[in-house]
Amino acid sequence: MPTVAMADKRSTLDDLVAELRPGMTVGIGGWGSRRKPMAAVRAICRSGVDGLTVVTYGGPDVGLLCATGKVRRVVTGFVTLDSIPLDPHWRAARQQGRVELTELDEGMLYLGLQAAAWRVPFLPTRAGLGSDVLVVNPELRTVRSPYGDGPFADPADDGADLVAVPALRLDLAIVHANRADTAGNAQFLGPDRYFDELYLGAAARRFVTAEKVVDEGALASEGPLAAVTAHRLLTDAVVEAPLGAHFTSCDPDYGRDEAFQRAYVEAAKDPAAFAAFRASYVDVDEAGYRAAVRDVSARTGGGGTR
């Protein structure tokens, strides 16, 4: 029996919000409308913080944060709701000039997070060459291959300029996992981990929200150990947040709540509609949110949970 207490990384959404400062760069895991840490996003929307830079494979996290005025800049390659191609809250923010954009090729975002996680200043790629990504982001640089000659020479790339994707260092990363343990190990039980470990690796402070938090050592009985890819060396805090990705998908715990997502889209139609949506589904605590979602699921016959 250990005589020294194990680190207990259990935390709360309030603790997460308390760490935010205006102007911080925050990375948000998931992809589009898939396994987004929406409970944490809602908590940020309720907070007093603003001026955030958000790095994300964008979905309703972007839309909701823009609609509540929390974001100054978004770093992304797209914003989509998947089953609904475009997010109307994001579109409105862009078309009204309320938000700045660093628009990158999807793969560049991957490499930028990887570079930050590996503590190198950049990683090279062809992605972006010749495109307007380099025009709308004039601060991006290219780098010439140093292997035009010598034993490692690749003559076909002699003189080739490549995009030097800068490290996308994050002040804070938030990802949502299916399971986590009290020590901060996180398990992804769905078919895709997306880029969540890279967000954690790229960040100074690292929060995991999870459907369920179990005792340290108990994740092996929740699913494969190979699915515990965000181990505790990558995390600082874990927050139990049931339905914490709703209304985005969180396979295999639940699929996307399409009826709810449609309601989210409808709420973009006018300020009064969004005010009502916000009062019901944003300006409520998580217990209140889950109760409201159960109500709407019962009414529509839709399935927030399965």
Partner 1 sequence: MSTDATRAEICAVACAEVWRDAGEVLASPFGTIPSLGARLALRTFSPDLVLTDGEAALVVGAPPLGAAPVREAAMPFRSVFDLLWSGRRHVMMMASQIDRHGNQNLSVIGDWSRPKAQLVGVRGAPGNSVNHPTSYWVPDHSTRSFVEHVDLVCGVGYERAAAAGPGATRFHHVHRVVSNLGVFDFETPERVMRLRSVHPGVSVDDVRAATGFELVVDDVADDVAESRLPTDEELELLRNVLDPGATRDREVKG
Applying CB under 8 A, which of residues 9, 60, 65, 110 lies at the interface with partner 1?
110
Pick 37 or 59: Cβ nearer partner 1: 59
Tell me how far CA of residue 33 lies from CA of 18, 26, 78, in angstroms: 26, 18, 11
Rounded to a whole number of angstroms, the minimum distance from the CB of residue 86 to partner 1 is: 6
Tokens found for residue 132: 């307007």
Q: Among 13, 108, 123, 172, which residue sits at the site for partner 1 (rule: CB under 8 A)?
A: 108
Window contacting partner 1 (CB under 8 A); options: 8-16, 35-43, 106-114, 172-180: 106-114
Q: Identity (one letter) of the amino acid at 283? A: D
**From the CB of 132, what's the least distance to partner 1, in Å?**
4
Beta strands in 159-240 (DSSP E): 161-166, 170-181, 186-187, 203-214, 237-240
Residue 211 touching partner 1 (CB under 8 A): no
From residue 125 to residue 144, what is the string marking binding to partner 1 with x (rule CB under 8 A)? xxxxxxxxx-xx-----x--
Q: Which long-range contacts (CB under 8 A, 24 or more apart) does 134-138 make?
A: 134/163, 136/101, 136/103, 137/102, 137/103, 137/104
Answer for which of 49, 65, 123, 162 binds partner 1 (CB under 8 A) is: 162
Choice from 19, 157, 216, 283 touching partner 1 (CB under 8 A): 157
- Rounded to whole angstroms, how far apart are CA atoms 42 and 40? 5
Interface with partner 1 by CB under 8 A: which residues? Answer: 31, 58, 76-80, 85-86, 90-91, 94-95, 97, 103-108, 110, 125-133, 135-136, 142, 145, 156-162, 190-195
